[in-house]
Structure 1
C-alpha cells in the first residue's frame, strides 16, 4: 500500500504537511503471520492536533496468543490515540494508551495455562505532528531514519543474549503488569525517510544493505517495502516479515500571511447595544467590558434560551496574536466538560462575525461575593474552594493551565455552584507542540494572584494554578491578601523570597493550624515544594495532616531555633538589666 498525500491544513495553526507512506507484511516461511502493521493519517482538525501515526507489532512466537496480541495492539493504538483529548500532548496520549493496552494484554494472558506465554507482543510507534517526530518503543521491532543518505537506528532492542546467538525479550507489551516504554522526539527535516521493521527483516538485512535499498527507493514506497521483505526472505529469514516507510516530502512551515488570512476570515462584530440582533441572538445588555473584550447577555430569538456572548475588542483587529488567542478561547472551552467550568456552546448556525457563546450563569463573581461576605465561616469558604479545585482538575486533566485564576474569573450562582470562566490566558500542551509563525503572549495573568514562575521565567505547570488557588483561599479565610499584598510588586526571586508569610490563623483565629499548614505549603516559592496537584491541596484543607499538627505541638526550639534563641537572649538581657537596677538601688 502506498499513499502520497498533501495533507490539508486543519486550522490557522498549521500549513501543509506532505507525506508519502507505504507498508507491507507477509508470513514468510511460517504458516501464520503474527506481525501487525497500521498507518493512520486523519483529515480535518485531528491532523493538526494529533498528527499521523504508524505502528508495527510482532507477536511473540513462543506466546500462545502472539497474533491476537499484535493485532489488538495495532488496532487499539490507532483507534485510541485519535480518541484521546486534543489538548493532550503526543507523549501523554500515547503513554496512557500503552499503559491501558499493556494491562489488557497482561490480564488476558493470566487466563491461559501458562501466563508467561500469553498475549505478548513487541511494538514500535511513530507519530509525526507539526515539525516533530515522536517515537515509542518496546521490544525488538525497530525504527530507522534515513537522512542525507545516512541510515540511523533510532530505537534500542530490549533483548538479553543467552549464548549460542540466542536472546530473549526483556521488555514487551503484555509481559508484565508494569510497562517501561522508550520515548524519543526529534525535529523533522524535508526528505526524512522513516523505516519501521520487525526482526524478520532487520535480523537478516544489515544496516548497509537496508541503506542501499532505501537510498534507491522510488515513489512507490509500498513496492519498496515489498522489495525489502522479499530480499530478507531470499537471504534466509525464517520469520514473519513486515516493514513501513514514511517520507516527509514537505514540512509544515506556515507563513505569517497565510496564518493571518485564515484567522481573519470572520470579521470583528460591529458595536452592539441592547436590542441589536446578531446571527439570531438578541442583545439584552452588556455584562462586562474591558480594553480586550466585551461580554453580552443574549437571547436566542428562536428558542428563547439565554447565553453569554463574548466579542473581541476592535482595538486588536490588526493583531494576529490576539485574534489567535481569542479563537483558541472557544476551542479550549468546548473541550472541557465539568460542572465547575463554564460551558462553551455551539451556536448551531453559521457565524458571520468573530464571537463565541457560553452558558449564562445567573449569579455573581467571587470578588463580589467576597465583598458581601468579608469573613465567611471556614466551612463555607472551603465549600467554594473545593469546587474551584474540581474545576481546575478538569482543566489539568486536559493538560490545560488556566493561568489567570482570580476572584473575577469565578462565578457563583444562586445555589452556590462555582463556575470557572475566561480561557483567554489558558495554555494548552498540545497547541504548544504545533509550529506557528506568530509571536504569542507570555505572562497573561494577574500579578496579585499569579505564581512566581511567571515573573522569574520558569516554565509553569499545574502547580502554578495551585498557587493562585491558594492565594484565593487565603483571601477568603482572612479577608486580606497573603504576604501583606506584596506579590504584585515582586520582580525577581529575591523579591519573592524576601516576602513574609503571616499565618492565616493570626488574622482569623477560627482557621485551624493544620489548615494553615496546607495553605503555607501551597504558597511556597518553589513549585516542587508545593502539593502535587490541586486535589491534594483540597484534601489537606479538609483532613488534618499529622505533620502540620505535630509541627505546632513541637517545642519552639525545634520549630524555630533562631527565634527561640533570640527570645532567650532577650529574656537574659532583661534579667540582667533588672539585676543591675536592683544592685544600683
Structure 2
C-alpha cells in the first residue's frame, strides 16, 4: 500500500558542537536525527542534549546512554503511538536502567546521573521533554524565550544541586511542553557550561546573527560556526565546564494543497464493478459478502495459493471525495499494526495493485449481531466468554493508542469455534497519525449513533471511556436481547434528549443476569464519561467479579422504583413466616 500521504515536507538546518573545555574529559552528549520518508512524518525529527553529572562519577556513560538509546528506542516505538506516549515509555525505561546501574556501583560511590533536554518536531508542533539544568531557547522574529526551567535547588549564592535528573531517582518527573512551530523558528539547546557563562542578551545576539546569516545565504549552513562562536564566548568568560550546544532552524513545515493531496490519493483508480468469477490482480471474486453506500466486501481466492481472503473496496459514490479516500487508504495501514487473535488480520498483497482495495483474513462464521438475534436468553457464562475476547481485541487497539470508534455487534465476528474477532477499521483514530496535520476535513461522527457515547455525538470527542460506553451497550444487548433505553440512543442529538433517557436494568429483561453485572453495565453506560470505568480492563474485571456495592445500590433502587410491589412481597414473606411459626 502506498504511504506517500504520510510523508512530511518538513525541512531543517542544523548545527552542533561539543568540547571538553578546561576539563580533562567531555561528559556531555549531543545528537540530532532527521529521518526520511514516513518515519519523519510518523515520529518527527529529534534534537537531544545531555550533561553527565560529574559528581556521579559515571556521568559520561549516563549522558551517552541517554542520547544514544533515546535516538534508537524512540524511533522503534509503534508508529501509532503519539509523541508523548512514545517518549514517556522510552525515558521511563532509560531512567530505571540508569538508576539500577547507579545502585549497582553504590559501594564505589559511582552513579549514572545526567540532565536531558530534547525537542521533537512533528507536523507543525514541537514537543519538549526536559529534566535537569540543560536548556532550550527559541528565537522567533524579535521574540527570544527560554523554554525550559532549571531543576536546581540553591543552598547558597554559590552552591546548588540538581533536584531532578535522569538516574537520580527510580521515579522520573519530566517537564513536557507542546509548542506551535513556524517556519523560520530557531532553537538553541545548551548545557550549563555555555548558558551559565554567556548572558541571555549575548545568546540572543548570536542567534539573531545566525538567523540573519542563514536567511541571506540559505545554501550555506553556517549554524555550526555559530555553535563554535558560543563555545568560544563561554570560554572567554571563564567557563569551567564542558561546553555543548545545538542550533536547529525550521526551514519548512509539512503543508499540502488539497488539490495536490487529491491528485496523489487518486493515483490508484477505484476498482471496476466486480462480479463473481472475475479476477483482479490474481484474486478471484467468489462472492459479495456485504455492500453499502460506503464500501463493498468480497470473498476472494488467491489464485496462486488458493487461500481464502476478504477484499474490501471503496464505493464509487466517493470517487471525488478526498476525505473518504484518505480514510480508506488509512484503514489497512492502521489495521496492519494491530496484531491480536481477536482482531481481524490485514493481509499484505504480494502483487502490485492496479486499483484501490485491501485484503484481510476471511472469517468463516456469523456476526455478533446475528448471534444476539439467535440467542434471546443466552447463558451468562457464554456471554462473558465472548465479551472477554472482545475486550482483549479492544485492548490491542488501545495499546497502540488507537480508538476503534465503531464498536457494535455488526463489527464483531464469531468464527466456527466461537472465537470473537473485531473487524472494520474505517472509523479508527490513531493518535500518532492524528498528530500529523491534514489539509483534508474529516467526517464528524464516524461510528454508529446507537453505540456511540453522548460526548462523541454531541462534541465529536472520543476517548477510551467512549469505547467503554460502546462495550456497555454491546453487553446490554447480549444479555437482554434488546437495545438499551428502548433504542432511543439512535435518535439522541441534544443534551436534552439524552437527559430524558431512562435505564431499564438487564435483570428485568433477563432474570438470569446478576445484580452486580447489571451494575457494571449501568456504570459503563453512564452519560457522563467521568462516571464510567477508566479503561476496558476495569469493566471486564467488574463483570467477572461480584461487586457487593452494585447489589446494595440495586436493592435500594428497587424499593424506590416499585415501593408498592416491594411492600406487598415483604408482607407476603412476613405472613408466611407468621403462619409457619403458628404451625410449629
Question: Normalization by structure 2: what TM-score?
Answer: 0.92
**1:279-428 superposed matches below 5 A:** 279-428=281-430
Tell me, yes or no, if structure 1 residue 214 matches structure 2 residue 216: no
Deviations 1:63-87 (A, max 9, x none): 0211111111111111111111111
Residue in 1 aligned with 2:60?
67
1:467 equivalent to 2:486? Answer no
> Which residue in 2 is equivalent to 1:178?
171
Quick one: structure 1 residues 115 and 140, their matched pair in 2 at CA, closer, same or farther if it must change by over 3 Å? farther
Q: CA–CA distance in 2 between the matches of 1:116 and 1:358? A: 57
Q: Would the aligned equivalents of 1:345 and 1:357 in 2 still touch at CA under 8 Å?
A: yes
1:540 — aligned with what?
A: 542
Q: How far 1:497 sits from its partner (Å)?
A: 2.1
Aligned ranges for residues 98-177 of structure 1 at < 5 Å?
98-113=91-106, 118-177=111-170
Shift in CA distance, 74/205, structure 1 to aligned 2, threshold 3 Å: same
1:88 aligns with 81
Residue pair 2:6, 2:38 contacting (<8 A) in 1 also? no
TM superposition shift of 1:561: 8.6
Q: How does 1:463-542 map to 2 (within 5 A)?
A: 463-542=465-544
Matched, 1:31 2:33: no
Q: How does 1:247-258 map to 2 (within 5 A)?
A: 247-258=249-260
1:18 aligns with 2:18: no
- 1:305-324: per-residue Cα shift (whole Å, max 9, x none)? 11111000111110000000
- Aligned pairs, how many? 559
Aligned partner of 1:190 in structure 2 is 183
- Equivalents in 2 of 1:567, 1:368: separation in Å? 36
Show the counterpart of 2:194. 201
Other structure's SS at 2:94 match = helix
Q: Work out whether residues 14 and 130 of structure 1, in 8 Å CA contact, stay in contact via their aligned partners in 2.
A: no
Q: Structure 1 39/105 Cα, relative in aligned 2: closer, same or farther at 3 Å?
A: same
Within 2, Cα distance between the matches of 1:167 and 1:206?
Answer: 19
Q: Judge which range, 218-227 or 122-131, deviates more.
A: 218-227
Structure 1 gaps of 5+ residues are: 1-8, 572-585
Question: RMSD across aligned C-alpha pairs, in angstroms?
Answer: 2.0
Q: CA deviation at 1:402?
A: 0.8
Once residues 567 and 360 of structure 2 are traced to their aligned partners in structure 1, the CA distance between those partners, rounded to angstroms, is: 63
Deviation at 1:97, TM superposition (A): 1.0
2:9 and 2:299 mapped to 1: Cα distance?
39
Deviation by residue 1:445-470 (Cα, 9 ceiling, x = unmatched): 11111111122216210111111111
Matches of 2:167 and 2:386, distance apart in 1: 44
Q: Tell me, what secondary structure is at the counterpart of 1:74?
A: helix
- 1:234 positional shift: 2.2
Query: 268, 271, 274: which one pairs with 2:270?
Result: 268
| Deviations 1:527-567, CA, capped at 9 Å, x for gaps | 111001111101111111232234356xx4xx689659999
Counterpart CA distance in 1 for 2:375 and 2:3 is 48
Could you tell me how far apart the structure 1 residues matched to 2:204 and 2:3 are?
34
Cα 1:245/1:561, change in 2 over 3 Å: farther
TM-score normalised by structure 1 residue count: 0.92
Task: Indicate how the Cα distance of structure 1 residues 565 and 342 shifts in structure 2: closer, same or farther if over 3 A, else same.
Answer: closer
1:77 aligns with 2:70: yes
1:337 deviation in Å? 0.7
Distance 1:468 1:105, change over 3 A: same
Whole-Å separation in 1 of the counterparts to 2:400 and 2:550: 32
Aligned-partner Cα distance in 2 for 1:153–1:116: 34
Deviations 1:144-168 (A, max 9, x none): 0011133210000000111032111
| Distance of aligned partners of 1:41 and 1:467 in 2 relative to their CA distance in 1, 3 Å threshold | same
Note closer, same or farther for the CA distance 1:338–1:243 as it changes in structure 2 (3 Å cut). same
List, as ranges, runs of 4+ consecutive aligned residues in structure 1 with deviation greater than 2 Å: 113-117, 549-553, 559-571
Hey, what's the Cα distance between the residues in 2 that align with 1:127 and 1:423? 29
Partners in 2 of 1:149 and 1:293 — Cα distance? Answer: 52
**Contact 1:10 1:48 survives alignment (8 Å):** no
Instruction: Verify the 8 A CA contact 2:8 2:37 in the aligned structure 1.
Output: no
Tell me, yes or no, if the aligned pair for 1:254 and 1:435 is still in contact at 8 Å: no
CA distance in structure 1 between the partners assigned to 2:287 and 2:559 by the alignment:
60
Which deviates further from its counterpart, 74-83 or 110-119? 110-119
Q: Out of 241, 245, 248, which is 2:247 matched to?
A: 245
The SS at the match of 2:398 is: helix
Q: Using the alignment, how far apart are the partners of 1:83 and 1:437 within structure 2?
A: 27
Structure 2 Cα separation of the partners of residues 503 and 565 of structure 1: 17
Q: Which moved more, 1:509-518 or 1:107-116?
A: 107-116
Q: Shift of the alpha carbon at 1:510?
A: 0.8
Residue 230 of structure 1, CA deviation: 2.0
Cα distance in 2 between the residues matched to 1:235 and 1:248: 30
> Partners in 2 of 1:399 and 1:441 — Cα distance?
20
Contact persistence 1:524–1:530 (CA under 8 A)? yes
